[in-house]
Amino acid sequence: MSEACSREVCSTEKPIDTMVRESIFNKYKTYGPAVGSFILLITGIILNQVEAQFFNQYFQVFLFGMAYLIIGGPVVWKALTKISKGDIFNEFFLMSIATIGAFFIGEYAEGVAVMLFYAVGELFQDAAVNRAKKSIESLLKIQSEEVTMIKDGIVSIKHPKEVSPGEVIQVMAGEKVALDGELLSEKGSFNTSALTGESVPDTKNKGETVLAGMINLNKVIEITVTSRFEDTKLSKILTMVQEAVGRKARTQRFITKFAKVYTPIVVFLAVALTLLPYFVVADYIFEDWLYRALVFLVISCPCALVISIPLGYFGGIGAASRNGILFKGSNYLDLMRQIDTVVMDKTGTLTEGVFRVQEIKVEDFDEKLFLKLVAALESKSSHPIARAVNEHVGLKLDNTNIERVEEISGHGMKGRIDGYEVLAGNAKLLRRFNIPYDPEVEDVVETVVVVAIDGTYRGYITIADQVKADAKQAVEDLHKLGVNNLIMLSGDNVRIAQKVAGELKIDKAFGGLLPEDKVRKVEELKQQGHKLAFVGDGVNDAPVITLADVGIAMGGLGSDASIETADVVIQTDQPSKIGTAIRIGKTTHKIVWQNIGMAFGVKFIVLVFGALGMATMWEAVFADVGVALLAIFNAMRIQRMRFK
């Protein structure tokens, strides 16, 4: 696309009148055959009822035959096509032989009606599947097709694939961000619902990360691109969703295999029902027993099972995606409902993963100067604790003289600040330099920075991670859902881990763990027979996520490694979504088995009546198409449910 080309001029969209004509044609193509066949069927039934003289057998065959060909021709053709490929026993074959058989014994209206209702059922199935796909399709459409790039002062429109990391893009108010990057403008406000499922605006400051799929809400902003189009978080999410559709649950796989065995058995039973009575029934009439067999075939069609079960799982995946949860396959929906043990990492999962100053205690020294000296020394470290101190103090250190800074591994920092000798670190640092300090420092649960100035203890600063707002609710929800074994694993010291666990009412907590220690703990739990989910967010959590029965990653701020290895990704970074995921899994399973029970129950009852000659084609239509429609409507319920 040329630089001078505007979006309006270069638009490749079709003219509105062409799109309207195509829409009308597509609707006629979809619904026309059913409408035409229905009109011919009703006409034939009326003429038969009024006993019109011209409506003889030949005219009946012609009229009902036309009605049948319009609606049943494609079904018969599909049956023949599949037979030519070696796939004989399928729903198309069942419907074809049943309805053609009805014509053979003179039941023209019933033959057309069965095929018509079958076709209408298929239309409802297509509509239901399209509705189930809608939330995922809308997700797949949120990738931008073009981006405004600024290079050497020149503005140009390009496809996101043509933009490299380091280049600058411009995003208008109301426009989607096309690529991951860092905000170059001072401030921006974004709608992140496409990624997180939450519509609360998110304000970003200069230098903070902005992700593809976010919508710029206010003024024009500029972003420095950090990832290629295919490497953006959004692209990875879409890949996960697309792959999820192909991963079937055990129930789905069973029904697919079952239908392949079930259908030929039904056909042979129908043949037996037609021929065997000849040897045992005194007043055997071939047409009567053939009619019973045809009714038997219509009832036996496995449509309700074949469509409603995948639709139920598909609806579950769609409902989860609307709640900011990505299941990488319907098999994980089944596994999620079986979970009895949830093991969680602390930092970034139950806590914000952002350290903040909690308390400052100064002894016999000016507090403002105390904070300035500590902040100046910590400004030379990249440690999260050092950053927390500097963010809290927020002083400009341009005129501060910082000399002889030394970082002592496992202890803290030492340096000369404006002529003062400053030590800042843990208690071991002061013991190393033989500086006495207040014993209460040893009792502080949080991370503590102990400070000595000119060889004298002058106080301490406590720093802690903030517990997430919904962490307590998440624990309560999991207990209510029957997860009776909640365990927290942390690399932090044992006292901090125990304090957070006590605050959240988690059953067990272990601290001071290395990544390999977490792996060992999870292995021990699995050996005890627990169905286990592990929730984490960091690179060090990836091995444990892989090991768990269901690995769950916090996908908003989590590392790419943990997201790649996880089975379920929580885009909102909210631990309360773990309970939501379990609810969706339980509800999906319940709906799927309701459909299985209803389909088998109704079909069995009507099959018995059909074999005994007490059911006609009309009851057969209900047992097949009617049950299929009821199952579809039941499966669609999950898309309207709330799982908060």
Q: How far apart are CA 461 and CA 361, in angstroms?
A: 6
Question: Looking at 293-350, which runs of residues are DSSP E strands?
Answer: 325-327, 341-345
Tell whether the model's pLDDT for residue 174 goes beyond 80. no
Instruction: Find all residues with CB under 8 Å of 472, minimum gap 6, and list them.
Output: 503, 504, 505
Which amino acid, 47? L
Decide if 178 contacts 159 (C-beta within 8 A): no
Q: Cite the DSSP H helix spans in 141-223.
A: 193-196
Which amino acid, 465? D
Q: What is the pLDDT of residues 439-472, one digit of tens each?
A: 888 877 777 889 999 999 999 998 887 888 888 9
Q: What is the pLDDT of residue 560?
A: 57
Tell whether the model's pLDDT for residue 305 goes beyond 90. no
- With residue 570 as reference, give the H or E element that holds it: strand 568-570
Which amino acid, 410? G
Torsion of CA 90, 328, 320, 174, to 10 degrees: -110
Q: What is the pLDDT of residue 476?
A: 92
Q: What is the pLDDT of residues 618-633, one digit of tens each?
A: 777 777 777 777 887 8
Q: What is the pLDDT of residue 52?
A: 63
Q: How far apart are CA 598 and CA 578, in angstroms?
A: 31
Provide DSSP, 99-147: HHHHHHTT-HHHHHHHHHHHHHHHHHHHHHHHHHHHHHHHHHT-S-S-E
Q: How far apart are CA 288 and CA 158, in angstroms?
A: 71
Number of C-beta neighbours around residue 72 at 10 A: 26
Please tell me which of 178-182, 244-248, 256-260, 562-566 the model is most confident about, judged by mean pLDDT. 178-182
Tell whether the model's pLDDT for residue 272 goes beyond 80. yes
Average pLDDT in the chain: 78
Tell whether the model's pLDDT for residue 14 goes beyond 70. no
Write the CA distances from 188 to 213, 223, 509, integer angstroms: 15, 10, 39
Q: How far apart are CA 246 and CA 94, in angstroms?
A: 27
Q: What is the pLDDT of residue 5?
A: 41
Q: Which residue has the higher pLDDT, 424 or 12?
A: 424
> Where along the chain do its domains lie?
147-235, 332-350+469-582, 352-466
Write the CA distances from 174 to 136, 171, 582, 643, integer angstroms: 22, 8, 35, 29
β-bridge partners, 417: 402, 420
∠7-10-15 over CA atoms, to 5°?
A: 105
Q: What is the pLDDT of residue 245?
A: 47
pTM of the model: 0.63
Q: What is the pLDDT of residues 527-586, one digit of tens each?
A: 888 889 998 876 567 778 878 888 888 866 545 555 667 788 887 788 899 999 999 999
End-to-end CA distance of the chain: give it in Å, rounded.
45
Residue located via tokens 């399973």 = 589
Residue located via tokens 């996520």 = 545
Mean pLDDT, residues 511-523 taken together: 81
β-bridge partners, 361: 460
Q: How far apart are CA 603 and CA 607, in angstroms?
A: 6
Q: Which residue has the higher pLDDT, 358 or 242?
A: 358
The proportion of the chain whose per-residue pLDDT surpasses 90, expressed as a percent, equals 8
Domains 147-235 and 332-350+469-582 share a fold: no
By three-state DSSP, how is residue 489 classified? strand
Q: What is the pLDDT of residues 388-441, one digit of tens each?
A: 888 888 777 777 888 888 888 768 889 998 889 999 988 888 889 999 988 888
Q: What is the pLDDT of residue 10?
A: 39
Q: How far apart are CA 406 and CA 424, in angstroms?
A: 11
Q: What is the pLDDT of residue 127?
A: 65
Tell whether the model's pLDDT for residue 142 goes beyond 50. yes
By three-state DSSP, how is residue 263 classified? helix
Burial 455-473 (b: 16+ CB within 10 A, else e): eebbbbbbbbbebbebbbe
pLDDT confidence tier of residue 244, bands split at 50, 70 and 90: very low
Q: Which residue has the higher pLDDT, 521 or 559?
A: 521
Q: What is the pLDDT of residue 583?
A: 93
Q: What is the pLDDT of residue 487?
A: 92
Q: Which residue has the higher pLDDT, 64 or 264?
A: 64
∠353-450-377 over CA atoms, to 5°?
A: 80
Decide if 292 contacts 111 (C-beta within 8 A): no
Q: Which one of 180, 334, 345, 541 is the catalytic residue?
A: 345
* Best CATH choice for the domain 147-235 from the list 1.20.120.530, 2.70.150.10, 3.40.920.10, 3.40.50.10540: 2.70.150.10
Write the CA distances from 71 to 29, 77, 469, integer angstroms: 12, 11, 58
Q: What is the pLDDT of residue 55?
A: 67
Decide if 70 contacts 44 (C-beta within 8 A): no
- With residue 398 as reference, give the H or E element that holds it: none
The topology (CATH level 3) of 332-350+469-582 is: Rossmann fold (3.40.50)
3-state secondary structure 271-293: HHHHHCHHHHCCCCCHHHHHHHH
Q: What is the pLDDT of residues 353-398, one digit of tens each?
A: 777 888 899 988 898 899 989 988 888 877 777 888 888 887 777 7
Q: What is the pLDDT of residue 66?
A: 92
Strand order in the sheet with 181-183: 154-158, 147-151, 168-171, 221-225, 181-183, 209-210
| 443 part of the active site | no
Instruction: Find all residues with CB under 8 Å of 371, minimum gap 6, and list them.
Output: 360, 393, 395
Q: What is the pLDDT of residue 43?
A: 86
The topology (CATH level 3) of 352-466 is: Calcium-transporting ATPase, cytoplasmic domain N (3.40.1110)
Decide if 563 contacts 553 (C-beta within 8 A): yes
Number of C-beta neighbours around residue 373 at 10 A: 24
Mean pLDDT, residues 587-603 taken together: 86
Mean pLDDT, residues 329-354 taken together: 84
Tell whether the model's pLDDT for residue 154 goes beyond 60. yes
Q: What is the pLDDT of residue 286?
A: 86
Query: What tokens appear for 570 in the block?
Result: 């929580």
644 burial class (0-12, 13-18, 19+ CB within 10 angstroms)?
Answer: exposed
Q: How far apart are CA 564 and CA 545, in angstroms?
A: 10
Tell whether the model's pLDDT for residue 600 goes beyond 50. yes
